[in-house]
Chains A and B, each alone.
Chain A
């Protein structure tokens, strides 16, 4: 079974540009979450999508947005990039639809964004 696939793995942008990252979840997983990892900050929750709807949102500015397609694939977009947006962006998918028990996120390898 293929894991969570994220593209691109590495990218370099300059301030003011925008970027789109893609995530293909594990087949059958309908929930996709996005996290930002920076040194010393751990993983910060960005948003979660389920059945093409944003169900949860973290505390990030509106420059960060996302969407989910009918095949559960998801994209996140960051507009007007700032130096502080340099980070590893992780996508995770999950099978569990509600709080019925063990709920495990399966992560992709991440997209490392460098903003110059």
Chain B
């Protein structure tokens, strides 16, 4: 039973347009969420996070929205650039130490020039 779901395995977007990556979770105890980006042959790198006390967090071109009632979060990338092409993982945590993260299966984003 996947507690964190990313229902779109892949997404293609034109350069300069908005990319929207979605993530759904089932465990209401999750209170901290992160997005990671992964290039081939590299480890995931942290992008942006949000805690459950907020509904939006913004960092440059990246914005994460959290809808707790729907147990849904999304990552918006505006404007999308070819260098954003990667696999994006959504992760959630609810344990006391914040070290046990549950990751989604990932969405492969392709930004077309």
Report A's interface with B, CB cutoff 8 A.
Answer: 4, 31, 33, 35, 40-45, 48, 50, 55-56, 58, 90, 92, 94, 96-99, 102-110
User: With A and B bound together, what is the CA distance between A23 and B77 in angstroms?
Assistant: 32
Nearest CB in chain A to that of B44: its residue: A107
The reply to whether B97 and A106 form a contact with Cβ atoms under 8 Å apart is no
* Cβ contact of B96, chosen from A41, A96, A99, A107, cutoff 8 A: A99
The reply to whether A102 and B43 form a contact with Cβ atoms under 8 Å apart is no
Q: For chain B, give the interface size range.
A: 20 to 34
In the assembled complex, the CB of B36 is this many whole angstroms from the nearest CB of chain A, namely: 8
A-B complex: 8 closest residue pairs judged by Cβ atoms: A107-B43, A43-B103, A103-B98, A42-B105, A42-B103, A56-B100, A48-B99, A104-B46
User: With A and B bound together, what is the CA distance between A44 and B103 in angstroms?
Assistant: 7
Query: Which residues of chain A have C-beta atoms less than 8 A from B43's C-beta?
Result: 4, 90, 92, 107-110
Query: Which residues of chain B have C-beta atoms less than 8 A from A92's C-beta?
Result: 43
Q: What mask results when residues 64 to 108 of chain B are scored 1 for a CB within 8 Å of chain A, else 0?
A: 000000000000000000000000010101011111111111100
* Cβ contact of B46, chosen from A43, A48, A106, cutoff 8 A: A106
Name 4 extra pairs, CB < 8 A, besides A42-B103, A50-B99, A90-B43.
A42-B105, A42-B106, A48-B100, A97-B97
